Amino acid sequence: MSAPVALRALRRGFHSSARRLALTRMAMPAMSPTMTEGGIAHWKVKEGESYSAGDVLLEIETDKAVIDVEAPDDGVLAKIIANEGAKNVAVGSPIAILAEQGDDLSAATQFAEDALKEGAPKPKQEAAEEPPKPTEAPSKPAPASQAQSVPKPEIPKGDRIFASPIAKKIALERGIPLAKVKGSGPEGRILREDVEKFKPEAAAAPSASASAESDYVDLPTSNMRRTIGQRLTESKVQAPHYYVTVDITMDKVLKLREAFNRSLAEKDKAAKLSVNDFIVKAVAKACEDVPEANSAWLGDVIRQYNKVDVSVAVATPTGLITPIVKDVGRKGLATLSAEAKALAKKARDGKLAPQEYQGGTFTVSNLGMFDVSHFTAIINPPQSCILAVGSTVPTLVPAPETEKGFKTVNKMSVTLSSDHRSVDGAVAARWMSAFKGYLENPLTFML
């Protein structure tokens, strides 16, 4: 469901008795079929400002990405209910009041209160709200002189720090405390350049309290990180994992890749095949040979897919995400390489659309570029298999036909994690044999 359609579907009007207003409630839209809550990353339009159809009203943080929400038609942002930084806002909860051009906005606050009273849960804000008034037993009124001498309690100021999303992201990556950064934006808002220019103060002689405070840093968990933890815990606990490892000789892939890249460079210098492109293609070919591995455990049934949609794990600043290269079996190496690179960039920028990371029939996780020789991966449910790919390293192997009796070949170790409920050990072994065969004879991709 697109952002404008979701927004239009969730808008509901409230009209005053004078019928001179067209104030409308804007509710938290469902950016995907499985979304139940989200966060408010950034409002692009301020209260009282007008906007046109197609303008981005705000950015919503889901469990996988930050998604723009566009306006379906012209209007005015009369009142913001869920401020920037609000977390765990349930789908359908009111987040703003919209109006039409020329409307009297004086009643927007009351409309917002009425919207919250309708039963939708109030979003959790990072800022501290006005503290609840203590319940006091009824007592006799104090004399006027005594009442004047009692100071009024101060309302504590909220501890929320106003900063742009990119400033928060950079500060989190560099370990910079936003509380110590002076913002140069409107009303002291911390901007990207403020974080980049921040220089920590020279450390004074450490005291006992300062030493205790520097022992650790608590990093807040994002919606994405919480979802990753929940899903992978469920997968590891509920799915009976088992692992099959093989070593693959990659010499022919490396030579073919070199030849292809020379040819591609003549047409487009930016085009370049990676080893992972060959791996993804070999995954699809092996799944075509052993379709039992291209499946999902759904409880009552095992769903076996006719197309191979490969989820490729990509590391982002907020966690791991798996954009999907769809129908890999019918695509050439150059096409799937371009698609994989474009999806990886969108993933790192947090701009993936829900349909670009939800679904998939088989997952590949490659840590070879980090000089990791071997690892095991947790299955991405409800998929049945995930392939963990290590680095390619020169290895001595026996070669009786040579003068020395040995030779050096490039070996890559891969481990297939399988769900024993849907994929038996013999099936995993057949799949690995097919996968190994394609990579050791990559010209079969062309057949």
Residue 263 near residue 350, CB atoms below 8 Å: no
- Distance, in Å, from the CA atom of 50 to the CA atom of 100, rounded to the nearest integer, reads 9
Angle at 89 between CA 11 and CA 109, to 5 degrees: 55
- Residue 303 to residues 99, 136, 423, Cα–Cα distance (Å): 47, 62, 12
- Distance, in Å, from the CA atom of 447 to the CA atom of 445, rounded to the nearest integer, reads 6
Of the residues 42, 241, 374, 420, which is catalytic? 420
- Distance, in Å, from the CA atom of 348 to the CA atom of 318, rounded to the nearest integer, reads 9
Dihedral class, residue 302 (left if φ above 0, else alpha if ψ from -120 to 50, else beta): beta
- Is 74 a residue of the active site? no
- Is 241 a residue of the active site? no
- Distance, in Å, from the CA atom of 198 to the CA atom of 387, rounded to the nearest integer, reads 42
For residue 260, the Cα-to-chain-centroid distance in whole angstroms is 33
Active site residues: 420, 424
